[in-house]
Amino acid sequence: MANGWVFGSSAQRPAEVQEVDVVIRNGRVMDPETGTDAILAVAVDQGRIVALGSAAEKLRGRREIDARNLVVAPGFIDLLARLTPEEETQSFKVMDGVTAVFNMHGGPVNIPAYFESFQEVGASYVHYGTTVGHNPLRRAVGLEDRHEPATPEQIEQMKRLAAQAIRDGAVGIGFGINYVPGASYEEVLALFEVAADHGVPCHLHVRYKGSVFPQTIVAALQEVITAAAVTGTSAQVVHLGSSSVGSMEVALEMITGARRHGIDIAADVYPYLANSTNLASAIYDPGWQERFGGITYSDIQLVETGERLTQETFERYRKEGAQIITHFIPEEEVLAAYRNPYVMVASDGIIRNGKGHPRGAGTFARFLGYYVREKKVGSLMEGLRKITLLPAQRLEQAAPAMKRKGRLQVGADADLTLFDPNTIIDRATYENPAQYSAGIHYVLVNGVVVVDQSKLVNVQPGQPVKHE
């Protein structure tokens, strides 16, 4: 707030209030919650949006930004990335227009240590938060065998640890059930109950992949929908595009139908046609070719070198463990997912030591540039809704601070992304993922300019976002 005042478009401004931190002029202001889509000035002070329109026009900014020909949008929110304190992982996010990143796919058991790791390096370019992970909880109670179910005593231990992690600030419980095939239905349901008790969501890499009966995405979704219905917990199916290969239509029908009957379930999809994980994981157990839709060894690419695998190298790296990229996702299924109103966008990736999947650097620019502008999966406003308002709303109950994010309104947090809708696109590739996106001109985090005329600024105003 500017000197303790908050201004609206019709508010009276005291004569002594003349200057604020930033005024953005001449930009196309778009807010998915109110439907605002107009050329307006935006005034920012002390980390908040304090005025819009004529009230903002009358203010003077210590920093003035001319946003002519640019969209001024709420900062993009990435619900699925294991962000680290290293500057590199954060820089690719903010240069892709992202202002907040959440590790919703897993997460540590020791939540205080997670937040302390960021403070030890000083700060962050973006806001950050995490879930507590089901797999780490299993390990914390002595379950090292991924094919072994938890005992009733271990389930009770996991519940206590999960509850403590949420009290320590975790914003949800993250599952990777497909990676631990021994996980019982009982232990999953028990952790849903913990989430319900504490008002946090569950985000799940679901139990099965693809359409090979009987272990199909349909059966996996039945488990999630049942757990959400029984406990009343909000549930999110992560990277649905890579999990529902061959069955996207029925997966979307199940999510839409469940929501129609009052079950709070949604999904996210990254805008690429390949996944990335470790080859030693359970999802590459025998039968993987069929589960992935009928692919073969040459559809797998080694992250470190870019080489395509053979049966011989597959077996070697399978024993050793290696980060790989697998090309198998049908584009028509990604298009169908993005046309569904309950599917949002999340990256499931970071760039580290210059390596990774291109989704770690280009997810949001690719979504807006390729899928919204070129493939026309929806209007620009609907596209922004999927990367700002919807992800903010998924976390509002768990973290009330999210009620001020994902919006561009007076009183909202000044997390803003200014981009050219005609040129925004990803530059990252599978062979060279460490490339910043194009078309992102300015990014403000907590009211501070972090990307200035498409260049990264060495300031790190990001803050932790915790369960309260």
DSSP-derived letter for residue 368 is I
pLDDT band at 18 (very low <50, low <70, confident <90, very high): confident
Residue 123's pLDDT band, with cuts at 50, 70 and 90, is: confident
Q: How far apart are CA 434 and CA 367, in angstroms?
A: 17
Model confidence pLDDT, tens digit, residues 259-302: 999 999 999 999 999 999 999 999 999 999 999 999 999 999 99
Q: 256 falls in which pLDDT band (50, 70, 90)?
A: very high
pLDDT at 13: 44
Could you give the strand order of the β-sheet that contains 132-133, starting from the edge strand earlier in sequence? 132-133, 173-176, 202-205, 235-237, 265-269, 343-345
Report, in this order, helix, strand and coil percent for the chain, each rounded to 5: 35, 25, 40
Burial 275-309 (b: 16+ CB within 10 A, else e): bbbebebebbeeebeebbbebeeebbbbbeeeeeb
For helices 359-366 and 87-94, the axis angle rounded to 10 degrees is 10
pLDDT of 463 strictly over 80: yes
pLDDT score of 16 more than 80: no
Give the residue from 394, 398, 392 showing the smallest Cα distance to 195.
398
Cβ atoms 357, 273 nearer than 8 A? no
Structure tokens at 119: 């403070």
Examine the pLDDT at 8 and tell me if it is beyond 50.
no
Cross-strand partners of 327: 274
**Structural domains in the chain plus CATH codes:** 19-74+412-456 (2.30.40.10), 76-271+337-399 (3.20.20.140), 274-328 (no CATH)
